[in-house]
Structure 1
């Protein structure tokens, strides 16, 4: 004897979407790259709706962003073929063109699609291949001799170097989470362990990597934190040697 069971149509209709939602969450599909405050009732039927690329990869990757004479650090949170979501302290503007440079040297041209508190969504001008963007650098005869370095940001800040008991003066010309370049006030031989003393960053222990007359390249013994370096780059210390101390990109974004 077959027992018949009544099925609520509403329950049956909701079961499949619920299962699909669980499967989508497990695969990473359907994750929105818009801010959390986007209204939940925005659907495909809503005016102005633009479907998002479901092939989204969640990452945590520091990159260099630049446009029209300025550069800064950002942290790429997720990325798809059509865009990416970044964390940044820079006051970006919707419609602004931004180049994103990854550690492997790949540069992606984007435009700011939306901005939030400490974050922004970028739209790629040309669809990208995620695997290529996230791939390790191809090592050639020269690059095989050194590890790919973190993005370096331009600066002009008075600093001091402590080396072999001497205190040398100069200007910090660029910096990354892993190293820096300093131009000394006078050509002086530098070797071995050194300490970089920078306003706002304190004393950073490093080792000399190369030197050409008055310019010294160094690698930090401990990696600088993304948040600490980002705050410093956004401060007046970054360009304090040029008399302006203004790192804001807004004056150059128009």
Structure 2
């Protein structure tokens, strides 16, 4: 019995080589122009590139990198821009399935520190309300899910407080840790992307 060989066409080969585009919504840290950091979202991603959404204007041809909560770093060049969005072509092809699996993995999937929302270093005056007292503090870093503050006598671990930062909605928090003159806060409700992104850009312009 003879088997008819299967003919492979150029269209079939092209389909095999075509990158698989995945629509998603990944929040990351956008790095460009040296050490400046910005908040961004990845709207879709393929093995050859991604579409970014960011409050920071990007120029055609500029090199950028995006760090994800998993620690993965995606690097490439801007190939098109539109208001609030940009297309980035990767410097080298990526494994999309691996990237998505890493981002979605729970803490048990990592040997090192558990993944967390991108944090941004800042240095600005803020205030906390604790047991009816208002205390001036310095905000040292912030993410959508938490912050680090500096003050002479930080509240104890698991203390519920309210954090007020000029330009951002007040947030109810719990102290996750407390040591020396610093405390780590967890927000009971995350800061929205549309609140935090423009606020960070304003901080960048002021610094």
State the TM-score, normalizing by the size of structure 1. Answer: 0.68
Aligned to 2:76: 110
Within the candidate set 141, 145, 164, 2:131 is matched to 164
Cross-structure match for 1:202: 169
Give 1:229-244 correspondences, 5 Å limit: 229-235=196-202, 238=203
TM superposition shift of 1:53: 4.7
Task: Measure how far apart 1:164 and its partner are.
Answer: 2.4
Q: Does 1:216 align with 2:183?
A: yes
Question: Matches of 1:199 and 1:190 in 2, distance apart?
Answer: 24
Over the aligned positions, Cα root-mean-square deviation in angstroms equals 2.0
Q: Does structure 2 conserve the Cα–Cα contact (< 8 Å) formed by 1:64 and 1:73?
A: yes
Question: Which aligned segments of 4 or more residues in structure 1 are displaced greater than 6 angstroms?
Answer: none
Counterpart selection for 1:97 from 47, 59, 63: 63
Q: Please report how far the alpha carbon of residue 112 of structure 1 lies from its aligned counterpart in structure 2 after TM superposition.
A: 1.3
Aligned counterparts of 1:86 and 1:53: Cα–Cα separation in 2: 20
Structure with greater strand percent? 2
**Alignment partner, residue 65 of structure 1:** 30
Equivalent residue in structure 2 for 1:121, among 75, 87, 91:
87
Which is greater in Rg? 1
Cα distance in 2 for residues equivalent to 1:162 and 1:139: 36
Residue 212 of structure 1 deviates from its aligned partner by: 2.1
TM-superposed deviation, 1:177: 0.8
Contact 1:53 1:80 in 2 (8 A): no
Q: Distance in 2 between matches of 1:233 and 1:214?
A: 24
Residue-by-residue CA offset, 1:29-77 (whole Å, 9 max, x unaligned):
9xxxxxxxxxxxxxxxxxxxxxx95411111111111131111111100
Deviations 1:128-167 (Å, cap 9, x if unpaired)? Answer: 0001111134333x64xx5x31111121111011122332
- Deviation for aligned residue 1:188: 3.4
SS of match in other structure, 1:211: strand
Kept after mapping to 2: 8 A contact 1:53/1:82? no
Q: CA 1:202/1:225 → structure 2, altered by over 3 Å: closer, same or farther? A: closer
Structure 2 residues not aligned, in runs of 5+: 1-14
1:225 corresponds, among 192, 195, 204, to: 192
- In the alignment, is the contact (CA less than 8 A) between 1:163 and 1:190 conserved in 2? no
- For 1:53 and 1:232, the matched residues in 2 are separated by 39
Number of positions where the alignment pairs a residue of Structure 1 with one of Structure 2: 185
Change (3 A) 1:166 1:53: farther
